[in-house]
Amino acid sequence: MNSIHPALIGSLSSTASPEKVINFSPGPTSLPEAVEKQIAANFQKPGLTSLALSHRSPEFIAILEHAVNTARKVMAIPDDYEVLFTHGGGHGQFAALPLNLCHEPTDTATYVVNGTWSARGCDEAKRYCNVQTIDAQDTKTGNYLSFPELTEEIIDKESKYVYLCSNETVNGIELHRLPKLPESRKHIPLVVDASSDFSTKPIDWHGCGVGVLFACASKNIGHPGLTITIVRKDLLGKASPLCPGVFNYTTNSEAGNLWNTPATFNIEVVGLVMDWIEREGGVEANEQRSIAKAKMLYDVIDNANGFYATPINDKSLRSRMNVPFNIAGGDLALTEQFLIESWEQGLIGLRTLTPFGVGDYLRASIYNGITLKQVTTLAEFMVKFAQKHR
Amino acid sequence: MNSIHPALIGSLSSTASPEKVINFSPGPTSLPEAVEKQIAANFQKPGLTSLALSHRSPEFIAILEHAVNTARKVMAIPDDYEVLFTHGGGHGQFAALPLNLCHEPTDTATYVVNGTWSARGCDEAKRYCNVQTIDAQDTKTGNYLSFPELTEEIIDKESKYVYLCSNETVNGIELHRLPKLPESRKHIPLVVDASSDFSTKPIDWHGCGVGVLFACASKNIGHPGLTITIVRKDLLGKASPLCPGVFNYTTNSEAGNLWNTPATFNIEVVGLVMDWIEREGGVEANEQRSIAKAKMLYDVIDNANGFYATPINDKSLRSRMNVPFNIAGGDLALTEQFLIESWEQGLIGLRTLTPFGVGDYLRASIYNGITLKQVTTLAEFMVKFAQKHR
């Protein structure tokens, strides 16, 4: 008989009472409570549910326009960018990017690899273009602990774009502001995978030369099955003839996000989350909340006299979204005990199935759905656990 | 001031009371009432909502396995087929098919074009392989009114697959049973777009040599953002190197539908619809309901002394899912009056934005979400309208 504790296989069904459960999953994860309540209330209304709306009905068109417009407003997306809702998640965009921006397979694209997700994006691009890689892997540990300086020497002048992931979910590295390419490379559009940090800080669209920025919905702004892809209009019309229609930015833009049936309900939810951000003070206030939440956990880790450790020493690169930490240098028995005790108190999602690398790292993901109060609960648990087991 | 009546722009917000509204949209559309109630009830439960479940949690894995297994059971899918949940809708599969089944762009695939959707699938395939077309377009009307006999003369022996759409939503043509390829072509897998008829009749998987069958969820089995793609296992491992990872049947199959984050909630809903079909007597009973619903509308049309007409004369090809009809030979004023009067009584979704071709055809889509009683309401309205205006 297999008697492994549910906490150790990543169960989300804590024995704590439901109202005590706090979901620290790296995504999919909980939405802000107010949004979840609004969705539940919408399903109680008489008449058609959100799932039943024809994508060509005026009712859905209003929902779509609302989602586009509030995203534009909240993230200050300039008019020379299209806001697309795309299929296929982040992985879909890994293929869509080179297929849209490299007309020929001989075209070059530059990939900054500083973690698991940029590595995956880079691998997928290799099918469709000539990839130039800037790899930030730490040769000693095999982990990604830093972000390379983007000098003109390491970026091909002919590159169709420079790609980076602004928050590496697995590795816990975040660019709190997007970098600017050197003067001689400013003609190259920056392409950003912002899947796990979109909506949590302002973006300097023109200043940083953003060409395309995409974010799968299931971390900060919605639930799985939808990606928001923001494309500077001058980059349209360059797709490879091999680009599948569903991935083609140009045709989807021309069709107003209705080239084929979009994920209607998922789009509605993104609109609700954008409304919530706006109500709560906009992206600036959201960033302050993120800073405060992350600081609380990193402070516990840094003040634990080595009982907890996080891999990223450079505080300017520490992720505000995903806080990886290990216990007593990766002690397996203590890690399991931490997982079980926290889970029984309703703190779930801390164990992930994505291997971090060396050590048994746990990870607290603290997206928009998590409040400062909820982070405090985890922080207090961590302090007590350290006191007991140090 | 634009005073066009909402019914004429396809509004779903009827002035009838919500409980009277019946949604005849061609998809996305309503789910069976029992399923909609179950979803609404699930959102009322305390604790995590379905939107918040990590795709790697045991809780979601159970939901995924349930959806796969009930789909297998309800549709009698043999063990030598994989059940995949894919991104990108039907259009995604239009690209995925040649990319998975034609390793080389010089490979040939045969497309039977008998309506709007097979034409679109055919167009997308042309990017990736050599397409042989069997076109059933009626030269007189420009419409698709028949289905060609699949003889060995018209199917290339080397073809990697023969593609067809088993129900043409726009044109109202349905194959009530899948065809069998001629003996000398039985080595060629049949590929079926069953987007708008999946789950409404049995499929003879082995007997008809089905290689791949796919259905976007948003008509009979769920809501937009998900496609079920059923692949015979011997067809795995043949993908083109150009196939995007999210479309690759082999890697998605090897990863147990978790190669990337799937549309978790959408998958849960498919499982609930499959449960409903099973509870209501399985696919055979579901087919009988479909036959009865369609017969009721076609009987009204055929018995209206020409007041109503439907384009497909061959009754063995009439769609049980989508019933196109025009009024008084396409009389615009009467058609608009029909739309307004029916809409005010809660009969919505009859106007579509997809142009049918000659004549102003309306269309009643009567998927799993529509009951015989609801069809009766429409049939009675049609009879009364004809009596009044003939």
Helix (H) or strand (E) holding A131: strand A130-135
Question: ∠ at Cα B241 (A262, A163), nearest 5°?
Answer: 65
| Final residue of a structural domain among A278, A298, A323 | A278
Q: Is the pLDDT of residue A176 over 60?
A: yes
Can you tell me the distance from the alpha carbon of A324 to that of A309, in angstroms, rounded to the nearest whole number?
Answer: 8
Q: Is the pLDDT of residue A287 over 90?
A: yes
Q: Is residue B266 part of a domain?
A: yes
Closest CA to A49 of B99, B343, B33: B33
Tens of pLDDT, residue by residue over B97-125, are 999 999 999 999 999 999 999 999 999 99
The residue segments making up the domain with residue A230 are 41-278
Can you tell me the distance from the alpha carbon of B247 to that of A242, in angstroms, rounded to the nearest whole number?
Answer: 14
* Across A176-190, A290-304, B111-125, B350-364, least confident range: B350-364
* Burial (CB count within 10 angstroms: exposed 0-12, middle 13-18, buried 19+), residue B139: exposed
Contacts of A218 in chain B (CB under 8 A): 261
Query: Which residue numbers of B belong to the known binding site for L-glutamate?
Result: 56
Residue A332: pLDDT band (50, 70, 90) is: confident
Residues B58 and B18 in one domain: no
For chain A, give the mean pLDDT. 95
Packed helices A89-101 and A116-125: angle between N→C axes, nearest 10 degrees: 40
Q: Give pLDDT, residue B290.
A: 98
**In the predicted model, what is the mean pLDDT of residues A353-382?**
85
The string over A270-288, giving b where at least 16 C-beta atoms fall within 10 Å of a residue's C-beta and e elsewhere, is bbbbbbbbeeeeebeebbe
| Residues pairing with B324 in the sheet | B363
Can you tell me the distance from the alpha carbon of A133 to that of A154, in angstroms, rounded to the nearest whole number?
Answer: 9
Which CATH number covers residue B366? 3.90.1150.10
Packed helices B33-44 and B264-279: angle between N→C axes, nearest 10 degrees: 130
**In the predicted model, what is the mean pLDDT of residues B256-263?**
97
| Contact in structure between B15 and B353 (CB atoms under 8 Å) | no
* Contacting residues for B240 by C-beta, under 8 A, at least 6 apart: B98, B99, B100, B102, B103, B104, B105, B128
Q: Is the pLDDT of residue A126 over 50?
A: yes
B259 in contact with A at a CB cutoff of 8 Å?
yes
Beta strands, E only, A201-312: 210-216, 227-232, 308-309
| One-letter-per-residue 3-state SS of chain B | CCCCCHHHHCCCCCCCCHHHCEECCCCCCCCCHHHHHHHHHHHHCCCCCHHHCCCCCHHHHHHHHHHHHHHHHHCCCCCCEEEEEECCHHHHHHHHHHHHHCCCCCCEEEEEECCHHHHHHHHHHCCCCEEEEEECECCCCCCECCCCCCCHHHCCCCCCCEEEECEECCCCEECCCCCCCCHHHCCCCEEEECCCCCCCCCCCCCCCCEEEEEEECCCCCCCCCCEEEEEEHHHCCCCCCCCCHHHCHHHHHHCCCCCCCCCHHHHHHHHHHHHHHHHCCHHHHHHHHHHHHHHHHHHHHHCCCCCEECCCCCHHHECCCEEEEEECCCCHHHHHHHHHHHHHCCEECCCCCCCCCCCCCEEEECCCCCCHHHHHHHHHHHHHHHHHHC
Residues A290 and A274 in one domain: no
Split into its structural domains, chain B has a count of 2
Q: Is the pLDDT of residue B336 over 50?
A: yes
| Contact in structure between A150 and A182 (CB atoms under 8 Å) | yes
| Final residue of a structural domain among B259, B278, B297 | B278
Which CATH number covers residue B59? 3.40.640.10
| Residues pairing with A210 in the sheet | A190
Q: Is the pLDDT of residue A9 over 90?
A: no
Residue A74 or A9, more confident = A74
Q: Is residue A36 part of a domain?
A: no
* Interface with A, mutate which of B170, B193, B261 (most A CBs under 10 A): B261
Residue A387 or A2, more confident = A387
| Contact in structure between A293 and A79 (CB atoms under 8 Å) | no
| One-letter-per-residue 3-state SS of A75-130 | CCCCCCEEEEEECCHHHHHHHHHHHHHCCCCCCEEEEEECCHHHHHHHHHHCCCCE
Residues in B 90-119 with any Cβ partner in A closer than 8 A? 90-92, 94-96, 99
- The side-by-side arrangement of strands in the sheet containing A362-365 is A308-309, A322-327, A362-365
Q: Give pLDDT, residue A1.
A: 46
Q: Is the pLDDT of residue B57 over 80?
A: yes
Tens of pLDDT, residue by residue over A212-235, are 999 999 999 999 999 999 999 999
Q: Is residue A4 part of a domain?
A: no
Residue B98 or A18, more confident = B98
Q: Is residue B153 part of a domain?
A: yes
Please give the positions of A annotated as active site.
117, 193, 219
| Final residue of a structural domain among B216, B247, B278 | B278
**Closest in B25, B56, B369 to A54, CB measured:** B25
Residues B125 and B239 in one domain: yes
**Closest in A36, A57, A222 to B11, CB measured:** A57
Residues B26 and B110 in one domain: no
Q: Is residue B35 part of a domain?
A: no
- The side-by-side arrangement of strands in the sheet containing B210-216 is B81-86, B227-232, B210-216, B190-193, B162-165, B108-113, B130-135
Q: Give pLDDT, residue B1.
A: 46
Residues B66 and B164 in one domain: yes
| Contact in structure between A349 and A164 (CB atoms under 8 Å) | no
Residue B137 or B157, more confident = B157
* Contacting residues for B130 by C-beta, under 8 A, at least 6 apart: B105, B106, B107, B108, B109
Q: Is the pLDDT of residue A128 over 80?
A: yes
Q: Is residue B308 part of a domain?
A: yes
Can you tell me the distance from the alpha carbon of A69 to that of A75, in angstroms, rounded to the nearest whole number?
Answer: 10
Q: Is residue A8 part of a domain?
A: no
* Contacting residues for A252 by C-beta, under 8 A, at least 6 apart: A84, A86, A246, A259
DSSP string covering A174-206, please? E-SS-----GGGTTSPEEEE-TTTTTSS---TT
Q: Which residue of A has its CA nearest to B61?
A: A11
Can you tell me the distance from the alpha carbon of B273 to that of B198, in angstroms, rounded to the nearest whole number?
Answer: 12
Can you tell me the distance from the alpha carbon of A33 to that of A52, in angstroms, rounded to the nearest whole number?
Answer: 24
Measured CA to CA in angstroms, residue B191 lies from A347, A368, B97, B163, B213 at distances of 47, 43, 8, 5, 6
Residues A207 and A312 in one domain: no
Residue A9 or A210, more confident = A210
Q: Is residue A253 part of a domain?
A: yes
Please give the positions of B annotated as active site.
117, 193, 219
For chain B, give the mean pLDDT. 95
Residues B140 and B164 in one domain: yes
Q: Give pLDDT, residue A56.
A: 92
| Contact in structure between A68 and A79 (CB atoms under 8 Å) | no
Contacts of A245 in chain B (CB under 8 A): 91, 94-95, 124
**Closest in A25, A46, A266 to B54, CB measured:** A25
* Contacting residues for B16 by C-beta, under 8 A, at least 6 apart: B344, B345, B346
* Across B120-134, B142-156, B247-261, least confident range: B142-156
Residue located via tokens 């049973």: B177
Displacement of CA A211 from its chain's centroid (Å):
18
- The side-by-side arrangement of strands in the sheet containing B308-309 is B308-309, B322-327, B362-365
Residues B221 and B108 in one domain: yes
Residues B143 and B168 in one domain: yes
**Hey, what are B315's tokens?**
């009754």
Q: Give pLDDT, residue B353.
A: 61
Residues B267 and B338 in one domain: no
Can you tell me the distance from the alpha carbon of B69 to that of B62, in angstroms, rounded to the nearest whole number?
Answer: 10
- N residues, chain B: 390
Measured CA to CA in angstroms, residue A310 lies from A143, A167, A317, A329, B42 at distances of 12, 16, 12, 10, 38
Q: Give pLDDT, residue A354.
A: 55
Displacement of CA B216 from its chain's centroid (Å):
7
Tens of pLDDT, residue by residue over A224-272, are 999 999 999 999 999 999 999 999 999 999 999 999 999 999 999 999 9
Return phi, psi of residue A218, to 5°.
Answer: -80, 10
Query: Which residue numbers of B belong to the known binding site for pyridoxal 5'-phosphate?
Result: 117, 169, 193, 260-261
Residue A159: pLDDT band (50, 70, 90) is: very high
Check residue B346 and give left, alpha or beta (phi > 0: left; psi -120 to 50: alpha): left
Residues B264 and B163 in one domain: yes
Helix (H) or strand (E) holding A60: helix A58-74
Q: Which residue of A has its CA nearest to B244?
A: A95
Can you tell me the distance from the alpha carbon of A128 to that of A126, in angstroms, rounded to the nearest whole number?
Answer: 5
Contact A44 B49 (CB under 8 A): no
Q: Which residue of A has its CA nearest to B28?
A: A54
Residues A113 and A261 in one domain: yes
Residue A152: pLDDT band (50, 70, 90) is: very high
B39 in contact with A at a CB cutoff of 8 Å?
yes
